[in-house]
Chain A
Amino acid sequence: MKQKKEFDWFDRPESKRKLWIWLYAFCGLLVAIDLFTHRHAYFGFGHYFAFYALLGFVSCAVLILFSKLVGLFLKAKEDYYDK
């Protein structure tokens, strides 16, 4: 009996490359749209070009780095409480 081939598209290197391209393209497109639209400024800075893109990028980078930093102190071995 012939075995059904497993769906493994996401494991393939060429798929990963494609996904990266799509991700960059989508991000680029969203930022590009800012060139043609005008957002209402809530606090005097919400309307800047690519404001939300920058906010997302910077805040996530900071969150990851910060959690990495506090992780040095807060991470413990799994049997920490059993000892």
Chain B
Amino acid sequence: MISDFPPAAILILGALLVPFFKGKAKNWYVILLPAAAFYLISQLQVGSSWQVHFFGFDLTFLRVDKLSKVFGYIFTLNAVAAFVYAFYLKDNTQHVAAAIYIGSALGVVFAGDLVSLYFFWEVMAVASTFLILSRKTKKAQAAGMRYIMVHIFGGLCLLAGMVIYITETGSIAFNAMADRNLGTYLILIGLLVNAAAPPLHAWLPDAYPEATATGGVILSAYTTKTAVYTLVRGFPGWEILIVVGCIMTIYGIIYALLENDMRRILAYSIINQVGFMVCGVGIGTAMSLNGTVAHAFCHIIYKSLLWMSAGSVLYMVGKSKCTDLGGLYKTMPWTLIFGGIGALSISSFPATSGFTSKSLILDGAIHEHLMWVWLVLEVASAGVFLHAGIKFPYFVFFAKDKGLRPGETNKGMLIAMGFMAFMCIFLGLYPQPLYNVLPHVVPYQAYTFTHVIAQLQLLMLSALVFFLFLKLLKRTETISIDTDWFYRKGGGLFYYVMDKALNGINGVSERIFVGGLAGYLGRVSRDGPTRAALLGMVPAWAIGGAKGERLAIKKDNVRTALRTGTSPIGITAAIATIFLVVVFLLL
């Protein structure tokens, strides 16, 4: 029956057939998969189905409500655009990995219980790794390895938390978590790893920019946004998330300003944007949760668009560092225009989708009288324009002409970008269709005259600062040290410290005990009796009148006698007595 078939299955099972298609049929086929899933989601009835009894648990593979549906819509819509973008691509690995990755993201969103959620969560991590490895460079291999290790760590936190939670509550249902204990906090940490919350975020700017051109586009949408979904579902109103979200918004900006690689700038701007969403979850009111979901929806579109434009530059030029790029407006005008629309949208420029979605979160903060939160989010909004809105397009398409004349990118990429750019403006001018599918019913009007003017003031003055401070923003051929340092360099450093410290102690111990002390003890036990005997006997001989040569001969005799064990009974008795006296004194 079509009305209750898990959409995840279409993509995951469908992925297995990808290698059987040849030529362009393969590309059409992968576009068709998410399109079919999109249609299916639109037909799904609210409720739970596909309940399977598994090892004593009742798993629910299909829980349909407004929240899961809206994420389902945007996940499949974005997938269609991403596969159109990848129309030039013949690589089976990437197509299969992408379809399984997107399918399992849908699996997470429609999972009604923690166990099936965890299953899809891990499939996502594994499938997405292949989108990074497919770049087939040494750097990508290493980054992919670190990526999967961090996600295994996050998965283990999630699993540990779930085990505690399920043991305590006796239920595997995944709903809003009320208790705040070790179990729920571990689950939260596991989810925040995927949401790329500092200090657990470094995998994102480390790995995404090493992915293939289309891999980056696909990766940018799903991992962090499934995490946002799970936070909305499980942790609404957890105040700690307000703090985490605020930190994320500013953290992303600072690093994006430092970065030289265009895709790394966009990677840090994901952290900044997800920060807004996490903050909305923390505020936890109907309006702010709506804002989070709406912002996730719009964000996926404009962020994909930005990654697409960066991807097509990378595809045409083969370079991604700002210091190598510039002046591309002459030969890639459409990529610039579409990317520019994405840049305006992420900056919440009026008439774009960012304006109609982010305002909900800010208004959510205002309604709860959270002045500092609101102020941080406004500052971060200004900063977004700075790093993603202007910096990215300026250094890639304008700045200094580096003599690159690549020509415009291929048609598939342009069509995908055009569609996403259209969506940005459509949802910016007419957000009602999006508001209608949000989980809560909250009437909202983004467009008031004063709001538009306020937003334009904020953004245009930010632009002015950018160009006034342009000299300070000059790109340098550097990378920025982030928390991945701890497992990239820290591991080596740990080894070095342990090596030096432990082996140092070993060396010192050897010198002291083996070289020094043992020899000393050996000498003492060998010469001790002689010395002790002489110590007692020399004064006695001296009193007896022995001097000079006679005394030396006497001493030699005693030494030889003791060494060979042939001492006269008198001397042996004397030494034994001295030994007993010494022992007695010591004890």
List residues of chain A with CB under 8 Å of any chain B CB: 6-8, 10-11, 20, 23-24, 26-27, 30-31, 33-34, 37-40, 42-43, 46, 50-57, 59-61, 63-68, 70-71, 73-78, 80-81
Contact = CB atoms under 8 A, between A and B. Distances in A.
Most buried by B among A46, A75, A77: A75
A23 B257 contact: no
B258 A53 contact: no
B478 A27 contact: no
7 contacts: A27-B464, A34-B457, A37-B450, A60-B382, A64-B465, A76-B478, A80-B479
Contact of B473 (A23, A54, A64): A64
B254 A67 contact: yes
A18 to B, nearest CB: 13
Interface in B452-472: 453-467, 469, 472
A73 B480 CA distance: 9
Given A59-B379, A64-B473, A75 B258 contact: yes
Interface residues of chain B: helix, strand, loop or mixed (majority): helix
Interface in B238-282: 250, 253-255, 257-258
B327 interface: yes
Contacts of B480: 71, 74-76
Given A53-B458, A75-B478, A63 B258 contact: no
B258 A74 contact: yes
B465 A81 contact: no
Contacts of A54: 461
Contact of B463 (A23, A31, A61, A75): A23
A43 B374 CA distance: 10
B457 A30 contact: yes
B398 interface: yes
A66 B482 CA distance: 16
Contact of A80 (B253, B330, B481): B481
B42 interface: no
B505 interface: no
B453 A61 contact: no
Contacts of A27: 457, 460-461, 464
Contacts of B454: 39, 46, 51-52
B355 to A, nearest CB: 14
A33 B455 CA distance: 13
B479 A64 contact: no
Contacts of A37: 449-450, 453
B464 A63 contact: no
Contacts of A56: 382, 457-462, 465
